[in-house]
Structure 1
Amino acid sequence: MNILNNKTHVVQDLLAFVLIVFMAYVLQDFLIPIFFAILLSVLVYPIVRFFETRLCFNRIFSITIAILVFTTVISAIIVLIAIQFQDIMDESSTYYDKIMEKTNILIKETEDSTGIESKDIVGSEKLEVKEMVKQNSNKIVDFLTRSGAILSDFVLTPLYMFFFLLYRSFLISFLYKATAKVSDKKKMRLILDQLYKVQQNYLVGLVSVMFIVGVLNSIGLLALGIDYPFFFGFLCALLLLVPYIGIIIGSVLPALIALATKDSYWYPFGVIAIFGFIQFIEGNFITPKITGSKVSLNSFVSILVIILFSMLWGIPGMILALPITASLKVIFDNSVKFKAIGFVLGEAEEKYFSNKAKYRLKVWKKIRKLKNKN
């Protein structure tokens, strides 16, 4: 009978998990800005608390100023990037001519060495822009629709942040009222404190990773003598918000600049190689060690959840994967039923990596010392 009950509970848990995943996929346009708002509210909360406690501002004014400061900083970063991009675009015609010149030389050398003409590969017919638009009209409409959804997220997320910060005490009181026992209220307070620390530590870890990768990228570009090394280095680090894909996108532009400004073809390959190597170090060591440890997740789980959330929510899912999983770990750790899941999500202790032969050797040495003493 107990075995049947256990099987029933397992089936129910699996069905509940499938239902949650299905609802998360269906409601992604609703849930994603809410999760971003929660995460960014944790980032902004220290500023709000400073205004409320130190400067004695009222809550609404403090939240408004804090969100304005946050949006101003983000806007300033975007403006600086835009200004630097404008400087690059002012020289784009020169870069384009040099790139086409070197590309034509490379194509000619390939034709001479292989005997295959370029028109045999790409064809001789020219595709008109009008025809390209016609063939890709569905993709263009889909992109514009998605862009509208992204724009609405930029509007909704600050709005959600405002209400989360405004009603924070009210929402916490609701959670306390939802727990009848005093012991449950104490446990709820503990869980909320842990959730706040986890999100805060994740943000600190993410900023640390961006800074380290930005420095490494800039050093690599400086060593190659590429123009605008710090801009491209930290722009690529900023694109780490999109794990794995971001650094690949960020390497394309400096590689093109290297192709336009350097005499050798090895420079663009060098840029891609350096960024690829930094990508390998960041993905396998820096991010799992710094960000993963900040949120108490092991490296294997960190990589898995990024892949899984990207399949569920795309690029926003890749950004939200670690903080959501870390929050779930806190909840699982404080749940009797799901404590084992919380355990497997966390960092493994050193004893799980120890060699059995080495352990036996330590035991044997201890026994030998005891015999010598006797």
Structure 2
Amino acid sequence: MNTIPLTVKRSIELLGLIALAAVLVIGRDIIMPILMAFFISIMLLPIYRFLKRKKVPESFSIILPILLVAIFVGLIVWFFSNQIGVLVKDFPQIKANVTQHINSLSDWISRITRYDSAEQKAFIQDKSDDLMNMGTSMAGGAAVTLSGIFVFIGLLPIYIYLMLFYKDILLRFIFMWFKPDHHPKVKEAIYETESIIKSYLIGLLIQITYMTILLGGILMLIGIEHALLIGVIFAILNLIPYVGALIGNVIGVLLTLASSQELWPVITVLGVIAGVQFLDNNILMPRIVGSKVKINALFSILGVFIGGSIAGISGMFLALPIVAVLKIIFDRTEIFKQWGVLLGDERPAKSPMTFPTFRKRKNVATKTGIEKG
């Protein structure tokens, strides 16, 4: 029997990746709620199984965990609504603080450049008019975006319920794609996928809790205004790998500048955020999530930006668990093994340029142990 040339196989793989990306871009409004529901349903499985063991009817065993998620989301929405109310109440003071900071910045620019205050004000006015025009043109699309968010949120509980209710049908569908000889590997991949997703998502919930307590509590003790709001915003944005922490720092600085006429609180906020983030990245999070999501930093960042370009914030949030699931599949599929190696973070102990054995599809020594190459 004629075998397919290697170049043809690689071309088919690349075309498949392009087709997959096209499907995600075109159908993101349908696919993203399904993916989000899938990951949440995996996280709710332990509660569902516990209730089933206690002889709770299946429908209630599914509805109760979904209600817990709804209560959790409702508490977050209530908190932000309350904090926004506080910001609105403090708006006159915030406006005075921002005006003072702008005047100080204007004086500093006048001292180091040839632009005087009048020219700076004219420049700011022009840019403000541009922003207003842009905002007017985007106002029409805002309602569509808002309605899309409500549809997204409304579909989630329905999808979660149906996925938990029909999980056995979905599992049988997966097994029927493969020959019986491959079913042990499929079963192993399913268990590992469930373990990684639960470990990752539950770890993120724990991370939100302790980062809010640590960051918000320390800033509150120091006397920073809106300390708890800064802590919650940074903790939630930190769920988006790499990019979220940067945005959280910027928002923390802006909130601090708006609530104070001095610069020392800004330096304090940045210092506390850096300290808490160092503690989180190097001590707490590795012990909570462990090293199960073994994705190298390069493809973690690429995954975040690609997910963001395809599906916005939800795509950035789901990027790492999706890439981790893909790596599990690639590692257990002979034809896609090289993609699993590419996504992983275990480097060969020696260069494949000088040691031919490190170029082959077999177990090879790595700098951290044994890697399935």
TM-score, length basis structure 2: 0.79
Match of 2:156, as an amino acid?
T
**How far apart, in 2, do the equivalents of 1:129 and 1:116 lie?**
18
The alpha carbon displacement at 1:217 in A equals 3.4
The alpha carbon displacement at 1:149 in A equals 1.6
Which residue does 2:16 correspond to in 1? 16
Match of 2:194, as an amino acid?
Y
Stretches of structure 1 that go unaligned for 5 or more consecutive residues are 357-374
Match of 2:335, as an amino acid?
K
Which residue does 1:85 correspond to in 2? 84
Which residue does 2:66 correspond to in 1? 67
Indicate the larger mover: 161-170 or 333-342.
Answer: 333-342
**How far apart, in 2, do the equivalents of 1:64 and 1:4 lie?**
50
Maintained 8 Å contact 1:292/1:298: no
Map 1:1-374; keep pairs closer than 5 Å: 5-54=5-54, 56-108=55-107, 110-111=109-110, 114=113, 116-123=115-122, 136-181=135-180, 183-211=181-209, 213-214=211-212, 217-218=215-216, 221=219, 225-272=223-270, 275=273, 293-348=291-346, 351=349
Indicate the larger mover: 189-198 or 300-309.
Answer: 300-309
Structure 1 residues 260, 121: CA separation in 2 closer, same or farther (over 3 Å shift)? closer
Q: What CA deviation, in whole Å up to 9, does each residue of 1:104-162 have, x standing for no partner?
A: 35434654675632231341896799996555433222333222222211111211111
The alpha carbon displacement at 1:307 in A equals 2.4
More helix by share: 1
Maintained 8 Å contact 2:189/2:332: yes
Q: What CA deviation, in whole Å up to 9, does each residue of 1:167-222 have, x standing for no partner?
A: 011221233344452x3333322221111112112113323544564456347635
**How far apart, in 2, do the equivalents of 1:285 and 1:144 lie?**
43
Structure 1 residues 125, 185: CA separation in 2 closer, same or farther (over 3 Å shift)? closer
2:294 partner SS: coil
The alpha carbon displacement at 1:284 in A equals 9.8
The alpha carbon displacement at 1:258 in A equals 3.3
**How far apart, in 2, do the equivalents of 1:250 and 1:218 lie?**
13
Larger radius of gyration: 1
1:123 partner SS: helix
Q: CA RMSD in A?
A: 3.6
Structure 1 residues 178, 19: CA separation in 2 closer, same or farther (over 3 Å shift)? closer
**How far apart, in 1, do the equivalents of 2:2 and 2:288 lie?**
44
Stretches of structure 2 that go unaligned for 5 or more consecutive residues are 355-373
Which residue does 1:368 correspond to in 2? none
Match of 1:107, as an amino acid?
S
Maintained 8 Å contact 2:242/2:301: no
Matched residues, number:
352
Maintained 8 Å contact 1:221/1:271: yes
Q: What CA deviation, in whole Å up to 9, does each residue of 1:283-325 have, x standing for no partner?
A: 8998799768332323333223222322332322211111111
**How far apart, in 2, do the equivalents of 1:111 and 1:334 lie?**
63
Q: Equivalent pairs: percent with the same residue?
A: 25
TM-score, length basis structure 1: 0.79
Structure 1 residues 45, 250: CA separation in 2 closer, same or farther (over 3 Å shift)? same
